[in-house]
Amino acid sequence: MYVDSFPDSKRKYLSDAHAETVKATLAPVADNMQTIASTFYSKMFAAHPELISDLFNRGNQKQNAQQKALAASVVKFAAHLVDDSQPDPVMMLDRIAHKHVSLGITEDQYQIVHDNLMAAIAETLGDAVTPEVAEAWDAVYWLMADVLVKHEKELYASDGVADGDVFRRGTVAAKEALTDTVTAFTIEGDFSAPKPGQYTSIGVKLDDGARQLRQYSIIDGDASHYRIAVQTDGEVSSFLQNRVAVGDTVDATLAAGDLVLRPGDNPIVLISSGIGSTPLTGILTHLVKHNDPRRVTYVHSDSSEATWAQAQESRDLVAALNDGSIHPFFRDSGERVDIDVIDVAGADVYLCGGTGFLQSLRDDLAALPDDKAPANVFYELFSPNDWLVS
């Protein structure tokens, strides 16, 4: 699922009265948003236990990661609505919409979120939530929801499916250990062709009866199969590695994700860390298959050569490019990615990895002088995206 357009956040405005109320209450709401978010999820899961069982990732809930992402996104959107100097959160909204369609979220579920979120705000802030304050933040929520719903409908339509109809039954056709902790799965089914860099949500039924979902980047694939890399980490990944064999079936969603290879003539620089290599391997595969003439530089950081999941595959792909080079950095050798020795001038840069890695690289790229700066920076974070919207 993919469209070239972005969510239209600029077509939505608060009334003057609502904007003034949000401005006056933005700081206390932001300061208490973590508590609000935690209260919200507690209320929602108490009223709808099927959501934590069958839709939300329990690991993210235990780590409060999803709560942080919700808090950051709501506050970011509200700040954008009332302060013209704030950057447009269009990329944040695009990323959220792709996550939603990969989970089959539909318009009716926004009402559930609304009711429990507003109740959480009232409970957390108490008497400070006057009818005027409640009305203003209600308007913020529905403006954000409206932008997301519209974009999500466009994403569903891009694959010609009804809203939410993204789950397919897939059969594991191959299972291959890439490292001690990473296993590649090839899943066959009636899918849609992924864009290079996209992901699929895989669902398994655990021993307690819960169907849990996790998103995995697609190394290679077409409408009949997806190849993914699974690293030992969390309930779903451990279940896949230890309990799912060739011939077994799993739930898999149609491909989604906003980190896709953009067309054009700019040089390409791919930078990954750890299992963040997976979507970039997907991009490399596409570049080779289509004999792309652009200059491609691939930089990868890992603990060691042995932990690099796609080491040989990446080297083979880069060697098959028209103009490619590869530069690994291994922490057990004391190496760190140094952006100053990588030619990113005028390039489209794609980043994928953990939070600290992306924070550091994004800061390094932003600090480059104009004559050495990239043309564009695109990224995927392998966790809920709270820092990216702060």
| Bridge partner residues of 190 (DSSP) | none
Q: How far is CA 171 from the centre of its chain?
A: 25
Query: Which of 152, 156, 199, 380 is an active site residue?
Result: 152
Instruction: Select from 219, 212, 218, 224 the least CA-distant residue to 250.
Output: 212
226 is catalytic: no
Q: What is the residue type of 119?
A: A
C-alpha–C-alpha distance, residues 105 and 90, integer Å: 19
What is the bridge-based pairing of β-strands 167-177 and 211-222?
Answer: unpaired
C-alpha–C-alpha distance, residues 14 and 22, integer Å: 9
Whole-number Cα distances in Å, 374 to 77, 345, 347, 349: 27, 5, 5, 7
The angle that helices 16-31 and 33-47 make with each other, rounded to 10 degrees, is: 90
Tell me 89's DSSP state: T
Q: How far is CA 368 from the centre of its chain?
A: 26
Angle CA 88–92–96, to nearest 5: 145
What is the bridge-based pairing of β-strands 225-231 and 182-188?
Answer: antiparallel
107 is catalytic: no
Query: Which of 2, 41, 110, 199 is an active site residue?
Result: 110
| φ, ψ dihedrals at 55, nearest 5° | -130, -55
Helix, strand, coil percentages in the chain from 3-state DSSP, rounded to 5: 45, 20, 30
C-alpha–C-alpha distance, residues 84 and 88, integer Å: 9
C-alpha–C-alpha distance, residues 381 and 72, integer Å: 15
C-alpha–C-alpha distance, residues 122 and 119, integer Å: 5
Q: What is the residue type of 92?
A: M
C-alpha–C-alpha distance, residues 224 and 281, integer Å: 19
C-alpha–C-alpha distance, residues 131 and 123, integer Å: 14
What is the bridge-based pairing of β-strands 268-273 and 211-222?
Answer: unpaired
List the catalytic residues. Answer: 110, 152
